[in-house]
Every structure is written in C-alpha cells, then in structure tokens.
Amino acid sequence: MISVLSVTSECAPLVKTGGLADVTGALPRALASEGIQMRTLLPGYPAVMAALGDRTEVVGGFDNLFGGPARLIFGMAAGLEILTIDAPHLYDRPGGPYIGPAGGDWPDNPERFAALSWIAAHVAANGADGWRPQILHGHDWQAGFMTEYLGQMGEHDVRSLLTIHNIAFHGLVGPERIGALRLDPSRFHSGGYEYWGAVSALKAGLVGADILTTVSPRYAEELMTPEFGIGFDGVMRSRRENLTGILNGIDSEIWNPATDPLIKPYQTPRGKLANKAPLRAEFGLPEASGPLCIIVSRMTHQKGLDLVLEALPALLEHGGQLALLGSGERELELSFAAMAEREANVGVRIGYDEGLSHRMMAGGDAILVPSRFEPCGLTQLYGLRYGTLPLVGLTGGLADTVINASPAALARGVATGLQFSPVTAEALRNALTTLCRLHADQGIWAKMQRNAMAQPVGWDQSARAYAQLYERLVAS
C-alpha cells in the first residue's frame, strides 16, 4: 500500500471556498480502492478542529512555528484521516481560510501557508507517530514551498506531486520576507522560487515537484500558452514531460439524483419535472415555455457572468428563464439584482446555499458555465449527472467534459450539451438561441438529457490515473 500525504488549505466538508475542497475531500475515498492510503494535512481552522473526533497528538514541540507554538493532531472527520496543525496564532480566527471578516486577505497568509508546507516536509522527513508518507501531494500555491523545505531538511527519498487547480493564484510576497519564511536565500533565482523579483510559492512548487498535474487534459495544454499560463507558460513548457492533465470527478454518492435527500429523487429525465415547479416557486418565477436555465457560480470576470448580462435578452425573448445563485464582485451582484427587479423571468440569490444548489440542479433544464478560462469545472459535471444540460465556453475542462450539440453529434445521438467559442457575448447569445431551439424539440432534448445522465463523472477513472502516477513516483 502506498502512503500519501495530501497537503491542502481546504477540504470538503470541513472547510470549503470552491472546487479545490471538493476534490481534496473526495480523492482519499476514491483512492482507497486503488490501494492508496491518503491522509490529509489541513490548517487547524476552528471548523476543522471542531469536526475532529477523538484527537491524538502525533507531533509536539514546535515552539515557534512562524510566530508561535504548535502541535500536530491526528483525528477522523467525515470519514477522512486528518492531520491538522493546531497553531492558534495562525489559524484560530474568524472569517474564511484566506480572508478576514472585513473582506481583505490576512496579512500573514504567506506565513500561514508556509507553515502548512513546513509541517508537510517535517512529516515526510521524520514521520508522525510512526506514520510516514512515501509521497507528498500538494495542492496549489498554499503547498508550494513543501519541496523547498524538503530539500532543506535533507529528505530526498519522499517523492512529490503538485496539482494546479488554478494557476491564476501565485502566492506572491516580497523578497524581504525570505528570512521570515525560512527559505534558502540562495534559491532566490529564476530556476528557484523567484518570480519577477518577488517570492512565489507557486513557482517553488512548479520547479520543485517531481510531477505536476492539473485538473483536465485541455487545461494542461492551455497552461503552456501565454494566454492561459498567466506568466508561467515558460515554466510549464519546461516541465512538459512531467505534466499530466487528469480530469476531476464529483462525489457520485452526494450528487446522485436517484438518492439525493435534498430533492424529489428521480432516475430519468421525465422524473426531473417534479423539481421544476418548486424551483420556479422558490425563485418567484412564473410558468414559461422556454428552458429554465440556472447558474451556480462565483460572480467574477473569469466566470463570464458579465457576458450573461449582455446575452440574456436572447434567452428571455425565446421564453426562457434564469435562476442564479452566487456571490462575488459587487458590480456583478448589483447588476444581476437590478436585472431580477426588471425582468419577471429572472431570479437571483446572492450568497451560497448547498441545499439550494442541489434543488437548482434537479429543477433546471440547463446550466450556464460561460467561463473565459476553467481548469476543470465541477458545476457542469453536476449538471450532467442531474440531466441539466451544460452550456459552456470552449475552454479547459469544459471542453473535455461536454459533447457539443453539433449537427454530427446530434445525428449520431451523442450530444450532452452545448459549447460556444469564442467566449464573447455575441457567441453566447447565439448559443442561447440554439439552446432554446433544441429545448423546443422534446425528443432531441430528452435524448441529450439521457446522454448527459449516462456520462461517467465520478472518480473511478481519475483515481486510477492518480494511482498510476503514485506507482511511477515510488518506483523512480
């Protein structure tokens, strides 16, 4: 059995701000059937500490972990084996994992997540109460320094893998913090953790990890281009031979329309209809002839929601409706709220509600994911699972997971949704018009729904791919 320590800043259901948490929460369970023992290392946020059952101190004596004492605790939570860093000076505070109650980043975030990487390297080098991983599997910039610290500790047997969930976040800080972050100053160069005169935790992981993965095959290709590499395309090209794209999956037990306790369960497209009227009522929408489209998203420029505002008339003119759940950029929140005030067929909820997101997947006809870039995306996978046809931008994992309703795909009876390109308001407007036309043909629409619900969106194939990478690392 291969032992792996997953190093992450969030993990569902304990702490979540986005898809990263869903992945790190599902992966340990998916890998168990592949003979992989994965423990998850998390910061000791209040929610994590409260969720742990019986706790055991497995490493103590950290008198000064980036500013205060700390210890490493082992416990079980949500069926996961959790190692958590009990360091109140770093993690016992209100707000989210990265942002305080006032809305700004915690100023000591560089130290808070350097501590995560430092403890990961310590466990790899010294073990934790007799358990020692063969592989460190880090996620995003928050785990980027783990390979730097491994090298400083003289540990060369433990292998490393870094998964890029979103390369847009670099973990940057000024070089004056090199000493405070316990980094080797001789590594501050273009082949190390230096990035245009700054320290980059992500760069450290990109150049230091034995293997790099990202969350879809297309995104792996996109990262090697200036448009999507966001300053790291040269680094990614240099690591081409050690870069793999593995699609994310979803938890097919939690997201299962046949057993979902949050909806009126169903197994066929016809069964969805029982969820549509209640969803309309929840959003205050009237009956309508066109498709009920949903959006469950962060409201940001990346997610293309400004394009929806421009293109939405095409949906409404064809009898369609929109129900949106999300939060983010204030201007977008206000614009959608104003749209809902003007249009009877638009309903908006600002915020996030897990139960409502399930009800929207069950009651919606289509889910809009017009992202300008999307490493993998999970909401389109939820849509497929629930027969809620995705309309997506042709990018990243959206391109890899949705079969476009082209004439050829429709003729062969394999389409599962719609893709549009380029990712512009005009192209989205045309795609919405096509969506309404397809919805009007209930034979075609029902066939696409059946195709969508039959698509494999769980973790089986992806878990096998990760297990093969781990086996390759251990053998190297």
Same domain, 236 and 316: no
DSSP lists the bridge partners of residue 392 as 369, 419
Q: What is the pLDDT, as a whole number, of residue 448?
A: 98
Rg over CA atoms, the chain: 23
In the chain, the percentage of residues whose pLDDT exceeds 70 is 100
Residue 59's contacts (CB-CB under 8 Å, 6 or more residues apart) are: 71, 72, 122, 123, 126, 128, 129
Same domain, 55 and 121: yes
Same domain, 235 and 275: no
Q: Which of 166, 3, 33 is nearest to 461 (CA)?
A: 33
Q: Tell me the CATH number at 285.
A: 3.40.50.2000
Residue type, 329: E
Q: Which of 165, 171, 111 is nearest to 138 (CA)?
A: 165
- Average pLDDT of the residues in 386-409: 98
> Given pLDDT bands bounded at 50, 70 and 90, which one contains residue 476?
confident
Does residue 471 lie within any of the structural domains? yes
Same domain, 169 and 285: no
Same domain, 465 and 440: no
- Average pLDDT of the residues in 290-299: 96
Q: What is the pLDDT, as a whole number, of residue 352?
A: 86
Does residue 226 lie within any of the structural domains? yes
Output the DSSP codes for 429-454.
HHHHHHHHHHHH-HHHHHHHHHHHHH
Does residue 227 lie within any of the structural domains? yes
The pair of structure tokens assigned to 354 is 């897990």
Same domain, 160 and 297: no
Does residue 255 lie within any of the structural domains? no
Does residue 256 lie within any of the structural domains? no
Does residue 263 lie within any of the structural domains? no
- 373-382 residue pLDDT tens: 999 999 999 9
- 423-475 residue pLDDT tens: 999 999 999 999 999 999 999 999 999 999 999 999 999 999 999 999 999 99
Q: What is the pLDDT, as a whole number, of residue 156?
A: 84
Q: Which of 10, 18, 12 is nearest to 298 (CA)?
A: 18
Q: What is the pLDDT, as a whole number, of residue 251?
A: 87
> Given pLDDT bands bounded at 50, 70 and 90, which one contains residue 17?
confident
Same domain, 194 and 274: no
- C-alpha dist (Å) from residue 176 to 188, 197, 252, 408: 11, 11, 46, 58
- Report the alpha-carbon distance of residue 43 to residue 47 in Å, rounded: 10
Does residue 33 lie within any of the structural domains? yes
- 67-108 residue pLDDT tens: 999 999 999 999 999 999 999 999 999 989 999 988 889 999
Residue 203 annotated as binding?
A: no
Does residue 360 lie within any of the structural domains? yes
- For 474, the enclosing helix (H) or strand (E) is helix 460-475
Q: HSE on the CB side for 119, CA within 13 Å?
A: 36
Output the DSSP codes for 197-233.
TEEEHHHHHHHH-SEEEES-HHHHHHTTSHHHHTT-H
- Average pLDDT of the residues in 33-43: 97
Asked if the model's pLDDT at residue 372 lies above 90, the reply is yes
Same domain, 48 and 159: yes
Same domain, 278 and 410: yes
Count of Cβ atoms closer than 10 Å to residue 200 Cβ = 24
Asked if the model's pLDDT at residue 277 lies above 90, the reply is yes
Q: What is the pLDDT, as a whole number, of residue 155?
A: 81
Count of Cβ atoms closer than 10 Å to residue 373 Cβ = 20
Running DSSP on this structure, what letter comes out for residue 19? H
- Average pLDDT of the residues in 37-42: 98
Provide the residue range defining the domain that includes 365: 269-454
User: Cis peptide leading into 226, omega within 30 of 0?
Assistant: no
Same domain, 313 and 406: yes
Residue type, 420: F
User: Quick check: 416 and 448 in contact, CB under 8 A?
Assistant: yes
- Report the alpha-carbon distance of residue 84 to residue 52 in Å, rounded: 9
User: Quick check: 10 and 16 in contact, CB under 8 A?
Assistant: yes
Same domain, 191 and 303: no
DSSP lists the bridge partners of residue 3 as 37
Q: What is the pLDDT, as a whole number, of residue 19?
A: 85
Overall domain count for the chain: 2
- 213-225 residue pLDDT tens: 999 999 999 999 9
Same domain, 135 and 212: yes
Q: What is the pLDDT, as a whole number, of residue 249?
A: 93
Average pLDDT across the chain, whole number = 96
